[in-house]
């Protein structure tokens, strides 16, 4: 089984090759990656295209270590769809990154999510119920749940355990097409174990949120959950490997 980090970003247009060396030390072999530039929340379509081109270059550079999520700004309609199709069909990207350009359940996302369903793409969707410092158009688990209900054939990967795991996990629990990733700087005790307990290990995936988060911290957070071996196998890559195997080629 391949250990897979299901949530990473490029850093200033590149994937730091030192991460591969660290991944070798830790046993992490494959990284699923997106490029959101310098955290551009509401990028113009030209900026999005350039980010995806940059990511495609890195995917070609490290074909054994990287897979790509196409970043989308749903507000650009047909132009976004053209860029998405090119990124998937020409550059081999395996998923879509929804960040904070719109809420995840905005109808503007529907064509994107329909395309994801047709191609069995993995949709990495940012979500965080924040007590302070929430971004405009920052989705919470409620938005992911509504999008998932409307698009039951789309496989969503809700990032950061939804930010506040108890409420987020409970919100998406009725939607079997939503899994969660463990990424981010938050290391609150018991959070990964709680997600596995309530969703089942087959709906939790390891993610780091590299490069602005330390890979070792995020691996340690999952080890600290003290999962049973089968659950740990699924979280650290078994699930992501299965999802990647379903992506239409």
Partner 1 sequence: MTSRAQALLAGFGEQGAIDTTCHLGQWPYRLTAAATADDLRAYAARHGLRALWVSHLATLTGFDTRTGNEALRRACDADPLFRLFAVVDPGAPTWRRELAWAADAGFAGVRLAPGDHGTPPAALGPVLAEAAEHDLPVQILFRLDDPRVRHPRSSARDLEIHELADVVRGAPVNPLVLSGLNRLERVELGRHLGDAVPAHVLLDLWHVNGPAFVGDTWGEEPGRWVFGSGFPVQTPEATMLQLATAALDDATRARIAWGNAAAIVP
Would you say 15 or 76 has its CB closer to partner 1? 15
Residue with Cβ nearer partner 1 (48 or 194): 194
Per the structure block, which two tokens stand in for 87? 């990124």
- Closer residue to partner 1 in complex, CB, 21/118: 21
Least Å from the CB of residue 65 to partner 1: 15
How far is the C-alpha of 166 from the C-alpha of 50, rounded, in Å? 37
Strand order, beta sheet including 95-98? 4-9, 30-34, 66-71, 95-98, 122-125, 155-158, 178-181, 204-205
Contact 197, 207 (CB under 8 A): no
Chain CA centroid to CA 33, Å = 8
Give dist(CA 243, CA 153) in Å, integer: 13
Contact yes or no for 34/71 (Cβ under 8 A)? yes
Q: Closest separation between CB of residue 176 and partner 1, Å?
A: 25
Q: Token pair of 218, please?
A: 């995020």
* CB nearer partner 1, residue 113 or residue 227: 227
* DSSP element (H, E) containing 191: helix 191-199
Comparison of 74 and 165: residue with beta carbon closer to partner 1? 165
Nearer to partner 1, 123 or 227 (CB): 227
Q: Token pair for residue 149?
A: 């209900």
Binding positions for partner 1, rule: CB under 8 A? 1, 3, 11, 16, 18-19, 22, 25-27, 128, 130-133, 163-164, 166, 185-192, 194, 210-221, 223-225, 232-233, 236-237
Closest alpha carbon to 141 in 129, 150, 152: 129
Tell me how far, at minimum, the Cβ of 200 lies from partner 1, in Å: 18
Looking at residue 122, the DSSP 8-state letter turns out to be E
For partner 1, the closer of residues 78 and 133 by Cβ is 133
Q: Provide the minimum distance between the beta carbon of 220 and partner 1 in the complex, in angstroms, as a whole number.
A: 3
Shortest Å, Cβ 90 to partner 1: 29
Residue 94 C-beta: closest distance to partner 1, Å: 21
89: which 2 tokens?
């069909």
Distance in Å, CB of 168 to partner 1, minimum: 10
Residue pair 181/158 in contact (Cβ under 8 Å)? The answer is yes
């Amino acid at each position: 089984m391949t250990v897979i980090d299901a949530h990473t970003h490029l850093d200033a247009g590149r994937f730091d090759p030192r991460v591969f060396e660290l991944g070798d030390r830790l046993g992490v072999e494959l990284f699923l990656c997106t490029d959101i530039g310098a955290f551009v929340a509401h990028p113009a379509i030209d900026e999005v295209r350039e980010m995806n081109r940059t990511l495609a270059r890195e995917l070609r550079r490290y074909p054994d270590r990287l897979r790509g999520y196409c970043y989308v700004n749903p507000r650009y309609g047909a132009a976004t769809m053209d860029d998405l199709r090119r990124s998937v069909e020409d550059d081999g990207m395996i998923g879509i990154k929804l960040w904070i350009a719109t809420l995840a359940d905005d109808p503007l996302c529907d064509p994107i999510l329909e395309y994801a369903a047709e191609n069995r793409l993995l949709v990495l969707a940012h979500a965080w119920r924040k007590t302070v410092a929430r971004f405009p158009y920052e989705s919470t688990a409620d938005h992911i749940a509504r999008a998932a209900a409307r698009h039951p054939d789309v496989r969503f990967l809700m990032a950061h355990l939804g930010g506040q795991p108890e409420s987020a996990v409970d919100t998406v629990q009725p939607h079997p097409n939503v899994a969660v990733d463990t990424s981010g700087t938050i290391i609150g005790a018991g959070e990964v174990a709680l997600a596995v307990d309530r969703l089942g290990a087959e709906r939790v995936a390891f993610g780091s949120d590299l490069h602005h988060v330390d890979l070792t911290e995020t691996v340690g957070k999952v080890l600290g959950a003290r999962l049973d071996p089968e659950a740990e196998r699924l979280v650290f890559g078994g699930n992501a490997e299965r999802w990647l195997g379903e992506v239409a080629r």
